[in-house]
């Protein structure tokens, strides 16, 4: 037989916060789980305006309108929104019944659920789907560019077939670094080796070989760092093959790394390609957003673009200790 104590234990175990709303005084009362969830001091009640101070600014008007409309909704309702607790962003699901259904003494009841884990999983799935779509499109574009460049530098169809196979195989090895299986990358991989594998498919394309020059210190990087850095460098190489120095026969690419004050600066310098111009100040494509996300969230670093007339210069700054993990 369930009693109130058992029900309370079940509610707390499920992370459910209970709330009541007096429709006349516009005050909400929550249980201890609710006050903890919102990081509000426990008391006799709070108003929506008290709670709204913790609601994410981008969601605040939407939530206010939704709560105002609940009494006009027939049956159950649910709304998901973000709150900010100190520097942490949480996703909350507010659920109840509208049209004054179940109202007792001018008081309505509902629950708050912390759905942060579910929302983060949904965002991760969306990011993965977008990344895979972006990567497939890039691979098709790169394969087309490699085929076109190889055809111009090959004397016979046999030479072209041999060289194209070699380059596509090298591209496959580089792609393995972008999506590795567990244990594929050693925990003590070298930065120079990573760059060599990633850039080999493009090194002898054009009017001469050796047009990609790498100058980096002997520096070990961890498995997670290698995977994420491979994503960043692969994105830069893809863009260069499609639009930058590596798309031109006489294009040059220099990649250098310097460590100063425990910060590693990787400088990607393109020369001899098509004239470049800074893009309009609008939101970038998926690739640039992915690159920025990795640099800021995983490496706690930064990325800087210099759109020089004779070529793009990209500077990646990463705390040296973040490369070892």
The CATH number for 30's domain is 3.30.450.20
| Residue 266: strand pairing partners | 257, 316
Domain boundary pick from 96, 114, 132: 114
262 vs 75, residue with greater confidence: 262
165 and 95 in a single domain? The answer is: no
Confidence band, pLDDT 50/70/90 cuts, at residue 162: confident
Question: What average pLDDT does the segment 5-29 reach?
Answer: 71
The secondary structure of 71-126, three-state, reads HHCCEEEEEEEEEEECCEEEEEEEEEEECCCCCECCEEEEEEEECHHHHHHHHHHH
Q: Is 24 exposed, middle or buried (0-12, 13-18, 19+ CB in 10 A)?
A: exposed
Residues 265 and 148 reside in one and the same domain = yes
CA distance 195 to 319: 19
Q: Higher-confidence residue: 191 or 154? A: 191
On whether the CB atoms of residues 223 and 186 are closer than 8 A, the answer is: yes
Same domain, residue pair 273 and 178 = yes
Give the DSSP H or E segment for 220: strand 220-221
Domain count, the chain: 2
Same-domain status, 260 and 238: yes
One domain for residues 52 and 75: yes
Q: Are residues 176 and 231 in the same domain?
A: yes
pLDDT at 204 over 70: no
Query: Would the pTM of this model clear 0.95, i.e. be above it?
Result: no
Instruction: List the one residue out of 25, 70, 59 whose CA is nearest residue 45.
Output: 25
Note whether 20 and 109 are same-domain residues.
Answer: yes
- Helical ranges in the chain per DSSP H: 4-13, 32-38, 48-52, 57-69, 116-153, 157-178, 191-199, 223-243, 286-293
- Shared-domain flag, residues 103 and 203: no
| Tokens of residue 162, six digits | 């041999």
Q: Is residue 62 very low, low, confident or very high in pLDDT (cuts 50, 70, 90)? A: confident
Pairing status of strand 311-319 against strand 263-271: antiparallel
Share of the chain above pLDDT 70, in %: 73
Q: Which of 16-25, 50-59, 120-129, 143-152 is least confident? A: 143-152
In this structure, are 123 and 265 located in the same domain?
yes
pLDDT given for residue 74 in this prediction: 62
Provide the CA 122 distance to its chain's centre, in angstroms.
13
The dihedral through the CA atoms of 245, 246, 252, 256 has a sign that is positive
Give 21-44 pLDDT, tens digit per residue.
777 777 888 888 888 888 888 876
Average pLDDT over residues 185-205: 72
- Residue with tokens 């990325």, as numbered in its chain: 303
Task: Tell me the CATH number at 140.
Answer: 3.30.565.10
The whole domain housing 191 covers 119-324
Based on the fold, state whether residues 238 and 100 are members of the same structural domain. Answer: no
Q: Kindly state the average pLDDT of the residues 185-200.
A: 73
pLDDT of residue 103 exceeding 80, the answer is: no
Residue ending a domain, choose from 84, 114, 144: 114
């Amino acid at each position: 037989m369930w009693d109130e104590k058992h029900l309370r234990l079940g509610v707390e175990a499920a992370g459910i916060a209970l709330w009541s709303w007096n429709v006349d005084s516009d005050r909400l009362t929550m249980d201890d789980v609710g006050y903890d969830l919102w990081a509000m001091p426990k008391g006799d009640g709070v108003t929506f305006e008290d709670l709204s101070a913790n609601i994410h600014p981008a969601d605040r008007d939407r939530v206010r309108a939704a709560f105002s409309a609940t009494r006009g909704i027939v049956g159950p309702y649910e709304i998901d929104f973000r709150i900010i607790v100190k520097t942490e962003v949480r996703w909350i699901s507010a659920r109840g019944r509208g049209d004054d259904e179940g109202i007792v003494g001018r008081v309505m009841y509902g629950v708050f659920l912390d759905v942060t884990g579910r929302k983060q999983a949904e965002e991760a799935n969306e990011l993965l789907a977008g990344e895979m779509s972006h990567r497939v499109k890039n691979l098709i574009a790169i394969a087309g560019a490699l085929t076109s460049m190889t055809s111009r530098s090959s004397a016979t169809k046999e030479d072209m077939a041999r060289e194209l196979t070699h380059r596509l195989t090298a591209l496959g090895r580089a792609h393995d670094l972008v999506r590795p299986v567990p244990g594929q990358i050693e925990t003590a991989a070298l930065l120079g080796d990573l760059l060599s594998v990633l850039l080999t498919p493009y090194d002898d394309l054009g009017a001469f070989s050796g047009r990609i020059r790498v100058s980096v210190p002997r520096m070990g990087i961890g498995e997670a760092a290698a995977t994420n850095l491979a994503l960043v460098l692969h994105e830069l190489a893809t863009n260069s093959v499609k639009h930058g120095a590596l798309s031109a026969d006489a294009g040059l690419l220099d990649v250098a790394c310097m460590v100063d004050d425990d910060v590693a600066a990787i400088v990607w310098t393109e020369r001899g390609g098509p004239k470049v111009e800074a893009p309009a100040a609008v939101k970038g494509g998926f690739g640039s957003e992915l690159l920025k996300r990795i640099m800021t969230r995983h490496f706690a670093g930064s990325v800087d673009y210099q759109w020089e007339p004779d070529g793009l210069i990209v500077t990646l700054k990463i705390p040296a200790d973040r490369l070892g993990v």
